[in-house]
Every structure is written in C-alpha cells, then in structure tokens.
Amino acid sequence: MGEGTEQALIRAVELGKSFRSGDSDLVVFAGLNLEVARGERLAVIGESGAGKSTLLHLLGGLDRPSNGTIYFGNNDIARFSERELAEFRNREIGFVWQNHSLLPEFTAQENVMMPLLIRGIARAEGLPIALERLHEVGLGNRASHRAGELSGGEQQRVALARALAARPSLLLADEPTGNLDHGTGEMIMDLLEELHRSHHLTSIYVTHNIKFAERGDRILEMERGFLVPAAIGRGEKGNLYV
C-alpha cells in the first residue's frame, strides 16, 4: 500500500489475524489492506463470521494483529504497549456496539462520564460534559435516570453519547442498530450521521443494514478474507444484506 496519503487517518497494511483452533490455526484474514481518509464514513458489510468485527477490534486497539501493521496517523499502534493502547483508545476512539454495555446501577449521565473518569478528569468537570453529550442525543431530560430505566433506543443513544464523551477522532460502530426496531434504528442512523458531521469524525460502521450502509461515503464487503468494493442490491429480505 505504500506510505498512504496525508489525508488518511487510519491504514492497515498486510494485516493478518488468526486464532489457534485445536492443532491448527484458523485464519480470519491475511494480507488485508485498508486506508480510511480523515472525515470519511466507511461502511463494512459481509456475511456473519467473515471477520468484520475482528477487523474493527484490531483497528480500535482492542486486539493485536497476528501480522501486519496498523497506522493511526503516523503511529504504528501494533507496537504500542498495553498501557499506550489503553491511552490511545481512550483518547482517539469512540466505540458503539450492538449491545450498549451500559452499567445498570449508574445513571445515564454517570455512564456517559466513564471515559472521562478513566482519563483522570474530575467528576465535577466530567458531569457537565456528559450532560452536554446527552443533550446532543436528545436525552438531557433523562440524565438522572438509571440505565435500566431507559428503553432500548434510549440506552443506545446513551451509548453513543458515551462514545463521544472524550471527543474521539475515530468512531467505530459494530451493528449499532442490530437490536433495535425499524423506527428506532432509523433514528440512531440519523444521529450517527449528524454527530459525524458536528464532531468532525472519521467513522467506520459494520452493518447488515443496507439502508444504513448506503448512507456512507464508501461501502466495502468482507469476502473470503479481503475487503472489496461492495456490489449491493435489495433482495427478497429488503434492506438486509443477503
């Protein structure tokens, strides 16, 4: 892939990931290359088990590649120590998962504030920042409610606010509408699109929802261990990737 472009925020070069399975290695992908421009909205589609989530974990520093290199700007994050990776994730990456993973015993505001507390920001400073993020997702009036008291759509909006609490530059979303009904999923898509612009993000979404994927600047398909430009269409299952 060469040196990449100055506009690229993240680049994967000859990336490989395998897992030990019994007496052999299960290869998820090998020799994978990817370049994502600053400000881009990239959608990644593909069959279940193709390696989409694995790729997202590697790009976000949650796992290490078996081989290859991941550049974030000019930094090779594959060479970071565990402490450096943790600091990198807290500083640069916002994560949104299909399962919101909120802490049920804490309020919405406290959940949103967690990344700031981990960074070492005082509670008194973090609370108004968390409240501002909740207002951005339309939940300022639910700040004092515990996570378990919120609907599924509200919980996912809290998770989105939490992902943006520390002002990341890269948002990674893995099936963020997967557990939601159609109308609520559409609302989350609208929010992701709006916040991508207002927070000047680079965003990578893994999704089976073609309507969601089509909102991006580019759609790639994970196919037999490679990322290829997607040829998509509506099948008998409507907006689902089939």
Report the alpha-carbon distance of residue 204 to residue 216 in Å, rounded: 9
Residue in 109, 108, 104 with CA at minimum distance from that of residue 123: 109
Tens digits of per-residue pLDDT, 206-236?
A: 998 888 899 999 999 998 888 999 876 544 3
Does residue 78 contact residue 69 with C-beta atoms inside 8 Å? yes
Over range 65-93, report the average pLDDT: 94
Q: Write the single-letter amino acid at 93.
A: I
**What are phi and psi for residue 131, nearest 5 degrees?**
-65, -40
Highest mean pLDDT among 78-82, 100-104, 158-162: 158-162
pLDDT of residue 6: 56
Report the alpha-carbon distance of residue 177 to residue 172 in Å, rounded: 13
The alpha-carbon radius of gyration of the chain (Å, integer) is 18
Does residue 95 contact residue 60 with C-beta atoms inside 8 Å? yes
pLDDT of residue 2: 42
Q: Evaluate if pTM is beyond 0.85.
A: yes
State both tokens at 124.
């008194």
- For the chain, the average pLDDT equals 89
Tens digits of per-residue pLDDT, 133-151?
A: 999 999 999 999 999 899 9
Q: Are strands 24-37 and 8-21 parallel, antiparallel or unpaired?
A: antiparallel
Distance of CA 195 to the CA centre of its chain: 13
**SS3 (DSSP) at 33:** strand
Q: What is the DSSP string of 68-126?
A: EEEEETTEEGGG--HHHHHHHHHHHEEEEESS----TTSBHHHHHHHHHHHHT--HHHH
Element (H, E) at 171: strand 170-174
Report the alpha-carbon distance of residue 165 to residue 134 in Å, rounded: 9
pLDDT of residue 232: 65
Q: Is the pLDDT at 241 greater than 70, yes or no?
A: no
pLDDT higher at 126 or 236: 126
CATH of domain 8-229: 3.40.50.300
Indicate the Cα dihedral angle 230, 236, 239, 240, nearest 10°. Answer: -70
Element (H, E) at 64: none
Confidence of residue 23 (pLDDT cuts 50, 70, 90): confident
Q: Is the pLDDT at 164 greater than 80, yes or no?
A: yes
| 226, β-bridge pairs | 223
